A and B are shown apart, each in its own frame.
Chain A
């Protein structure tokens, strides 16, 4: 390609800010403070197994909720036309234009013990409920922040399905449920997979949401890593090892899922 040169700046950027950090993290993960190769960091990680489990569990729960809420919405919007669709798309996009931290802070304000929601419940003599600093609050924060990343890819895939294909299925005797089950849903799977990826990965590695809404008791991977680099437990080697393991697990998850996606196509294609 003659214009290969125009990609050099990006390649340079990738080298400095993606490849190099991964190499540094890998290096740190396998060394000790005193230098020299060690696996001690990975052994030390065992004590944080619960944080691993919790992170993946909460991210999975958030992803499932996003999917259950996002798919019907995306499906409906893709079939809708005119102002309603423009309006709804706008409403989905709107929060994304505002800083993520600000939005999460406002949830803190809503959920606090003396926050807006408890004040509201108080009017009816209810509560106060413990909402902030719970795992539920973390999942809520994840769903709230990442739902658009589930809706948009599914929406754009469903929207591109040729209406003639739907008509063909009806024509061959499929009622609307069968059309969905045999045609629309399988054809929308690529959107579902990329939606899951785009919700699950940021959820599993979040530390802002868990710190703001989860309090100090609920330790997630993101917080754990944060602590090793900037916090009290300063240990960049352990932090690097945790990051590395998390990255590998996420990559394995994605590979399995994509394989499952391909497999799905392979079976029927």
Chain B
């Protein structure tokens, strides 16, 4: 990865007594696709607004290319923003919307025309210049918003849940397209979303946030495979999180039994959170199972079944292509690499039990979650 471009050090944002950002430290590399991921109110949008210059940190510093930019107003920063609900200028046509930044820079008319048309081509809207904003669909308006920002050739593009208002199919297309655009123009993208799938699909680096704190920074693979705590494990994908202990390296103990795993480095007998992803669990006949439980719910999901299995009162989610009827006794087998062991954190015990399965699952799939962060 290339050189560091943006650095936030000890950034705190407080409204009255409410702490929105709590001593946030983050650096962002040049040409990186970085995603700030978290639930509503986690501080991700606030972080973006600090970088854009719309929000001053209560304390802490913001550096751009080594220079402190705390007091630099938005119009003097080398970043451009794609806003959540596009925020297009409805009194101008598409061409003038995209040309807005260039006109302010007083570029010659010829150059403006050429660059606007290039930008519209980049977002797949060639020849749309004369149209009015209202005549475009949501997806097209979003593309205009991207073109309007990118035409200025910023060093950094900030994107605040840009796909939040689009339907699922369009959103998937736009994810791929955004990634492509980012690679084509070769600039840093800082992307804010509450959609974990979006984050995993597009990012080079994912920053998982909650309650004004960074929970984990890493590649999508790291975040998914090696979550640092129960919050991250639960927020990214589905996780069964079970209390366990580590009697020794590479052995984890839960349900009074020992299982082979690949993790180590814990104090002997240390209490830990054990993460088991629903797709890492194999269903086997009862007599071959490491554990046995009773199926309590089955949901057909298309590619697989979600089944909820009761293991001594603690309910797991298992994703499988094999159908098991409700009430069946089944055995399960988990390979050593199916376990991920985490140190206890303040999130321990809050996530990872599927007893209240349906409601929780719905909540996690909430695509249109209103993000009311200020």
> Looking at chain A, what size class is its interface with the partner chain?
20 to 34
Q: Is the CB of B93 within 8 A of A268?
A: yes
The contact of A167 among B83, B91, B104, B149, by CB within 8 Å, is B83
| CB of B56 to closest CB in A, whole Å | 14
A164 touches B75 (CB 8 A): no
Considering the chains assembled together, what is the distance between the CA atoms of A189 and B92 in angstroms?
A: 13
Q: Which residues of B contact A175 (CB under 8 A)?
A: 73, 75
Assess A173 versus B87: contact at CB under 8 Å? Given A182-B100, A268-B93.
no
Q: Are B89 and A171 in contact (CB under 8 A)?
A: no
Decide if A173 touches B101 in the complex (CB within 8 Å): yes
Does A169 count as interface, using CB distance less than 8 angstroms?
A: yes
Any A CB within 8 A of the CB of B138: no
Q: A174: which B residues are within 8 A, CB to CB?
A: 75, 100, 104
Interface of A is mostly: helix
Query: B105 touching A183 by the CB < 8 A rule?
Result: no
Residues on A with beta carbons closer than 8 Å to the beta carbon of B47? none
Interface residues on B, range: 20 to 34
A to B CB contacts below 8 Å, 25 in the list: A162-B87, A165-B89, A167-B52, A167-B54, A167-B74, A167-B83, A168-B83, A168-B88, A169-B89, A170-B73, A171-B79, A172-B75, A172-B101, A172-B149, A173-B76, A174-B100, A175-B73, A175-B75, A182-B100, A268-B91, A268-B93, A269-B90, A269-B92, A269-B93, A269-B133
Interface positions, chain A 247-269, Cβ under 8 Å from B, are 265, 268-269
Closest to A161 in B: B90
Partner of B84, one of A164, A165, A189: A164
Which residues of chain B (309-359) have a CB below 8 Å from chain A? none
CA distance A173 to B52 in the complex (A): 12
Say if the beta carbon of A122 comes within 8 Å of chain B. no
Q: A167-B54, A174-B75, A175-B75 provided; 8 other pairs, C-beta below 8 A? A: A165-B89, A167-B52, A168-B81, A169-B89, A169-B100, A174-B100, A182-B100, A269-B93
Interface, chain A (partner B; CB < 8 A): 162, 164-165, 167-175, 178, 182-183, 186-187, 189, 265, 268-269
Pair B83/A170 contact, Cβ less than 8 Å: no
Which residues of chain A have C-beta atoms less than 8 A from B133's C-beta? 269
Q: Which residues of A contact B53 (CB under 8 A)?
A: 170
Which residue of B54, B73, B104 is within 8 Å of A172 (Cβ)? B104
Are A187 and B91 in contact, CB atoms less than 8 angstroms apart? yes
- With contacts A168-B83, A171-B52, A269-B132 taken as known, whether A183 is within 8 angstroms of B75 at the C-beta atoms is no
